[in-house]
Amino acid sequence: MKRVIASVLGAVVIGLGAQGAAAAEGGPELPEYTWSFDGVFGQFDLPAAQRGLQVYREVCAGCHSLRFVAFRDLAALGYNEDQIKAFAAEATVVDGPDDEGEMFERDGRPADRFPSPFPNEKAAAAANNGSAPPDLSLMAKARPHGPNYLRALLTGYADPPEDVEVMEGQSYNPYFPGMRIAMAPPLFEEGVEYQDGTEATVDQMAADVTQFLMWAAEPKLQERKQMGLKVILFLLVLTGILYAVKRKVWADLH
């Protein structure tokens, strides 16, 4: 009977798979990368996420916001209080109104969220050929197969094939739905200088920034998986005991 249950569940999963496939149609198959955060024991790769933060700050932050992430959250990536204060202080935040009723600018504090590069969506669109760069806080969860998609997208820029017309201000990228994206290729070889000496290839930077964005989208991933292991272990023991009790209670019946 459990096999039947398993097959019903299996069918559900297949159904979901079909859903995923439908969403990704059109472009080439997404590559299957391996990620440190995959699987039951998966965790973030902190050095990679730190490099990813650097890529985000030096490249993506020029166009994209990260509005759900506060500087203080960076403690989870292994930064200490002073480093976080320093990151925050580099940002300029609009605050107010003050006692005179005026808005004023001040240095960022750890409790501030990452600032947006544009005052509003209209301004963001105007500066980017009419397409506003979306917020990246949840991007790694907001696309099917998020992390694989992000890395493929960031490394997938290519010359368009003959039959694809790409307009001014657009780039050809087969992984993007519609294949024409308003984001110019953001990553170039050695575009950032990694402090830990890692060679900054495009794929390396794409992988690192994806690692960082996955953390930004799912900051409780490590806590969740660690708790999950304990909960499952507990439930296995509990269910084992309940099964034994059930056997014992029913023993006089059959």
Partner 1 sequence: MSGGFQTNNPVLKWIEYRLPVFSFVDHAVGSQYPTPKNLSYWWNFGSLAGLALVILMATGIVLAMQYTAHVDYAFDSVERIMRDVNYGWLIRYIHMNGGSFFFIVVYIHVLRGMYYGSYKAPRELLWMLGVVILLLMMATAFMGYVLPWGQMSFWGAKVITNLFSAIPLVGEDIVIWLWGGFSVDNPTLNRFYALHYLMPFVLVGAIVFHIWALHQFGSSNPLGIETKGPQDTIPFHPYYTVKDLYGMGVFLIFFAAAVFFMPNAMGEAINYVEANPLVTPAHIVPEWYFLPYYAILRSVTFDIWFLSAKLIGVILMFGSILILFILPWLDRSPVRSSKFRPIHKQLFWVFVADCILLGWVGANPAEPPYLYIGQAGTVYYFAHFLIILPLLSVMERPRPLPNSISESVLKGGGTAMGATAKPMEKA
Q: 73 vs 203, which CB is nearer to partner 1?
A: 73
Contacted entry of partner 1, ligand HEC, none for residue 224, CB cut-off 5 to 8 Å set by kind: partner 1
Nearer to partner 1 among residue 2 and residue 162 (C-beta):
2
Smallest gap, in angstroms, from Cβ of residue 221 to ligand HEC? 19
Contact between 139 and 217 under an 8 Å Cβ cutoff? The reply is: yes
Per DSSP bridges, beta strands 180-181 and 92-95 are unpaired
Ramachandran class of 65: left when φ > 0, alpha when ψ lies in -120 to 50, beta otherwise: beta
Among 36, 128, 198, 201, binds ligand HEC (CB under 6 A): 128
Distance of alpha carbon 40 from alpha carbon 34, whole angstroms: 13
Cα→Cα distances 172→48, 81, 131, 177, 186, Å: 28, 42, 15, 11, 13
Q: Where along the sequence are the contacts to partner 1 (CB under 8 A)?
A: 1, 5, 8-9, 11-16, 18-19, 22-23, 40, 68, 73, 134, 137-138, 141-144, 146, 177, 217, 219-220, 223-225, 227-229, 231-232, 235-236, 238-239, 242-243, 245-246, 249-250, 252-254
Shortest CB 44 distance to ligand HEC, Å: 17
Instruction: Give 3's DSSP letter.
Output: H
Q: Which residues make beta-bridge pairs with 105?
A: 94
Query: Bridge-partner residues for 164, per DSSP?
Result: none
Site membership for ligand HEC, residue 66 (CB under 6 A): no
Pick from 184, 238, 244, 245 the residue near ligand HEC by CB under 6 A. 184
Instruction: Write each residue from 196 to 215 as x if it is in contact with ligand HEC (CB under 6 A), else as -, in one continuous string.
Output: -------------x------
Q: Which is nearer to partner 1, 106 or 224 (CB)?
A: 224
Residue in 120, 119, 49, 113 with CA at minimum distance from that of residue 78: 49
